Chain A
Amino acid sequence: MLHQLSWKVGGQQGEGIESTGEIFSTAMNRLGYHLYGYRHFSSRIKGGHTNNKINVRTSVVHTIPDDLDILVAFDQETIDVNYKELTSEGVILADAKFKPVKPEDCPATLYVVPFTEVAAELGTTLMKNMVAIGATAALLNLEDEVFQSVVDEIFGRKGETVVQKNMTAIAQGHELMNGMLGDNIGKFELEPADGKHRLFMIGNEAIALGALAAGTRIMAAYPITPASEIMEYLIKKLPKFGGTVIQTEDEIAAATMAIGANYGGIRSFTASAGPGLSLMMEAIGLSGMTEQPLVIVDTQRGGPSTGLPTKQEQSDLMAMLYGTHGEIPKVVIAPSTGEEAFYDTIQAFNIAEELQLPVILLSDLQLSLGKQTVEPFDYSKIEIRRGKLELGELPEAEDKAYFKRFEVTEDGVSTRVVPGQKHGIHHVTGVEHDETGKPSEAAGNRKAQMDKRFRKLDHVNFNMPVFKNTPHEEADVLLVGFNSTKGAIEEIQPMLNEEGIKTNHAHIRLIHPFPAVEMKELIDNAKKVIVVENNATGQLANVMKMNIGAHDKIISLVKYDGTPFLPKELLGRVKELLTDGNI
């Protein structure tokens, strides 16, 4: 029995490929397996090759593998594009309808199965995906019943007959495949899973749920790939909590509306991707200058300009650290898994209010859209910290003296009051201002206010700025990354260790202000440092060099073709770098 299985379904976009993957993976999740799914899709509605690859495991997994065990193909293109991933033990389940041809150099076994024909006999060709799921069940030796609850949920409202027909489609696919497999029935049978109830969700859903748990009630946003799921989730859920999502006319309105709502004393945020973030830069400066809390989610995708809208990249980092004109304090947080995405989103809202500044929650397409197993969120770990927000009664001020909303303090944070509060009147302006918010260009005031604002960065209260898996006191190599590269690095760390290369792993979750002390120690304890990132210029490597130095040790390992790092691919490239006289 296997400990891991890699399954992929492919066909034309709009053909139900997504739901095929959805049904299979939801059923596996309910059995207690750990999953990681990644979709390949294009920026179009119908047509174009699409596929959904799912890693199923009995232990934690945060990445798709290089290899493929089972490929379910609804067209020839799916075979042509994906067969190279198949192992010699691998299997192609192809719909007889398109007369599939196995490429000459394909080592896997091709089974031609009449998915469409069986479905048509049952009443509609739409059910061909259910037949394919049945065929998959034969290979995994699964009972058809494991799909019952999923089918009930999807087709329940269409009536019992539809549910029954879909279950019959699965059963017939299963039976048909059993007949074809002979000795190979259950060839890919997995070890039983632990049966624990876990969440199976995309990163964007974890972020959205985190925002809701953090108390956000108004989200202002403009649709964009790969961020839209955040607003789409919240527009369904916020009304129950008295709030809403406002779809604005553009991202400038989204960011400034969120600032206005935060100014009003609630937690509001926006989410976008690179092009939207470019439009928000001036608003980010306003938030920094006027000390209004603001959380912005940036789900990175391939840039620049429209770039690769549906592909993985991590190239917004520098823009997020330094974007906006002039100088403001800003916090940049980069979660790497569904769990981190949830808890870090809550941390982002807390820090934004505690320090009264903009916080960028950085994600990337793989994290935002990759569907993964997530441990249920722990309610007791949800904490709402609002810092020096004073919503109680305020002492009466002298006649028309403004409240010192920007009072120069030791930690740089001033008492915050909101419109509507008696005795709290003050002015807010993006112009340099004095302690009451009145415009002031005086040199002394300017310096005092700049210093005050930047002092806030010394007081970032973030739990675990660096994720560390550092078994070695003295390592041959330290692998460093941020966001979704964690999954691939996690996979190869034990492989490298097994080969005698002492490997430590650090994944940076708080990128700005940079955890220099912590990272320096890790770098000092490694002979070489390889920084793994999905961009062309090695942005994180440069940030590390800027904050720590160690130019001779830090090596950049980049990938910017739009696809995520795969474990074996990464392993090969790390070893190549280490044998190139680098170690």
Chain B
Amino acid sequence: MVTFKDFRNNVKPNWCPGCGDFSVQAAIQRAAANLEIQPHELAVISGIGCSGRISGYINSYGLHGIHGRALPIAQGLKMANRNLKVIASGGDGDGFAIGMGHTIHSIRRNVDITYIVMDNQIYGLTKGQTSPRSAAGFVTKSTPGGAIEPSLKPLEVALSAGATFVAQSFSTDLKELTAIIEAGMNHNGFAFINVFSPCVTYNKINTYDWFKENITKLSSIEGYDSTNRAQAMATVMEHEGLVTGIIYQDEETPSYQNLVNGYSEEPLNQQEMMIEEKDLQELMKEFM
């Protein structure tokens, strides 16, 4: 019997007290335990930033890579071992600024991994600069006159990029967050989960109270159909992105792994690497 405690290690996070990331860490640990995964069957790949440290705070395999590149690393890992549960995670700077290209293309590619963004609308580790998620007018060290660029809308971007799983949650709602991560890990394809994870040190606007006041739970919207992409888009736009729950899920579209021509059913890392002599002869014949 696996419990969330099995996913705890003895490293003390260097997050500020009250940081939203603690709940994300706990939710991943609970979701993994609920899915009865053994710690060694999970790999958490993270980017750079406060949130990027999360891979070191979970008792599982983990790789803390370079800024913005958690997604390609995670996809490479999953391709090497299709039996492994792979989570990629990072902050809004990681996923929506430096790594935005990978985010879009990972969504399109639909490799079977779960991507959790800890979205705090600010750059924390570099001590308070604007993020692509900061609202226009937001005053930070790098936008002393207020941000003049509009905030990026990750849910709309994900939906229009062809995501097969889009969800959003709020870090105080551990129960909902855990359930969403579980659903994402069960989804056969790329699961995109944006989590409002407030920065208590540098973001005095998008606080816990602010989110509580502004968030609408999709479960409270009568007749909401998470298999309807158009409705998902309309609802997200209507609520200016401030909704939580599973926004959209398409269980029909096969994952990348299911589509790759000839892709081994057996994990590649358990395969014989040496080709046979007759294969080499066959391959050489084409050049003769």
Give me the interface of A with B, judged by CB distance under 8 Å: 29-30, 197-201, 205, 209, 212-215, 217-218, 220, 237-244, 246, 248-250, 252-254, 256-268, 282-283, 285-286, 290, 374, 376-377, 379, 382, 384, 400, 402, 418-431, 438-439
| Chain A interface main SS type | mixed
Interface residues on B, range: 35 or more
Q: Could you jot down 23 A-B contacts, CB within 8 Å?
A: A217-B273, A218-B76, A237-B283, A239-B263, A240-B279, A242-B264, A243-B263, A243-B264, A244-B263, A253-B102, A260-B45, A260-B74, A266-B271, A282-B69, A285-B66, A379-B277, A382-B274, A418-B269, A420-B40, A420-B41, A425-B39, A425-B61, A428-B62
**Can you name the residue of chain A whose Cβ is closest to the Cβ of B82?**
A264
Whether the Cβ atoms of B81 and A420 lie closer than 8 Å is: yes
Determine how close the nearest CB of chain B comes to the CB of A231; give it in whole angstroms.
Answer: 15
Which residues, 59 to 85 on B, are CB-close (under 8 Å) to A?
A: 59-66, 69, 71-81, 83-84
B288 in contact (CB, < 8 A)? yes
| Complex Cα gap A266–B267 (Å) | 10
Whether the Cβ atoms of A419 and B66 lie closer than 8 Å is: no
Determine how close the nearest CB of chain B comes to the CB of A29; give it in whole angstroms.
Answer: 7
B221 in contact (CB, < 8 A)? no
Whether the Cβ atoms of A261 and B80 lie closer than 8 Å is: yes
Whether the Cβ atoms of B288 and A426 lie closer than 8 Å is: no
Which listed residue, A217, A239, A379, touches B261 by the CB 8 Å rule? A239
| Complex Cα gap A40–B63 (Å) | 45
Q: With A260-B77, A282-B66 given, is the CB distance from A199 to B262 under 8 Å?
A: no
| Complex Cα gap A286–B52 (Å) | 15
Whether the Cβ atoms of B275 and A259 lie closer than 8 Å is: no
Q: Which residues does chain B contribute within 8 Å of A200, judged by CB atoms? A: 287-288
Number of A-B contacts (CB under 8 A): 208
Q: With A252-B69, A264-B76, A264-B80 given, is the CB distance from A213 to B275 under 8 Å?
A: yes
Determine how close the nearest CB of chain B comes to the CB of A289; give it in whole angstroms.
Answer: 10
Known: A246-B79, A264-B78, A267-B273. 17 other contacts (CB 8 A): A200-B288, A201-B287, A239-B261, A241-B275, A243-B262, A243-B268, A244-B262, A248-B72, A260-B79, A264-B79, A283-B66, A286-B65, A420-B81, A427-B56, A428-B62, A430-B65, A431-B64
Which residues, 115 to 130 on B, are CB-close (under 8 Å) to A?
A: none
**Can you name the residue of chain A whose Cβ is closest to the Cβ of B59?**
A400
Which residues, 153 to 196 on B, are CB-close (under 8 Å) to A?
A: none
| Complex Cα gap A265–B40 (Å) | 14
**Can you name the residue of chain A whose Cβ is closest to the Cβ of B57?**
A427
**Can you name the residue of chain B whose Cβ is closest to the Cβ of A290?**
B63
Determine how close the nearest CB of chain B comes to the CB of A238; give it in whole angstroms.
Answer: 7
Q: Which residues does chain B contribute within 8 Å of A240, judged by CB atoms? A: 262, 279
Whether the Cβ atoms of B273 and A259 lie closer than 8 Å is: no
**Can you name the residue of chain A whose Cβ is closest to the Cβ of B86?**
A419
| Complex Cα gap A257–B45 (Å) | 12
Determine how close the nearest CB of chain A comes to the CB of B114; give it in whole angstroms.
Answer: 15
Q: Which residues does chain B contribute within 8 Å of A197, judged by CB atoms? A: 288
Which listed residue, B72, B266, B275, touches A253 by the CB 8 Å rule? B72
Whether the Cβ atoms of A265 and B288 lie closer than 8 Å is: no
**Can you name the residue of chain B whose Cβ is closest to the Cβ of A214?**
B273
Which residues, 79 to 102 on B, are CB-close (under 8 Å) to A?
A: 79-81, 83-84, 101-102
| Complex Cα gap A259–B9 (Å) | 25
Q: With A420-B83, A425-B60 given, is the CB distance from A30 to B288 under 8 Å?
A: yes
As a 0/1 sequence over residues 12 to 49 of chain B, the CB contacts with chain A under 8 angstroms (1 = contact) are 00000000000000000000000000111101010000
**Can you name the residue of chain A whose Cβ is closest to the Cβ of B68?**
A252
Which listed residue, B11, B66, B102, touches A249 by the CB 8 Å rule? B102
Q: Which residues does chain B contribute within 8 Å of A209, judged by CB atoms? A: 283-284
Whether the Cβ atoms of B55 and A215 lie closer than 8 Å is: no
| Complex Cα gap A252–B55 (Å) | 21
Q: With A243-B264, A264-B77 given, is the CB distance from A256 to B288 under 8 Å?
A: no
Q: With A256-B69, A425-B59 given, is the CB distance from A250 to B76 under 8 Å?
A: no
3 smallest CB-CB distances across A and B, nearest first, come from A260-B76, A239-B262, A264-B80
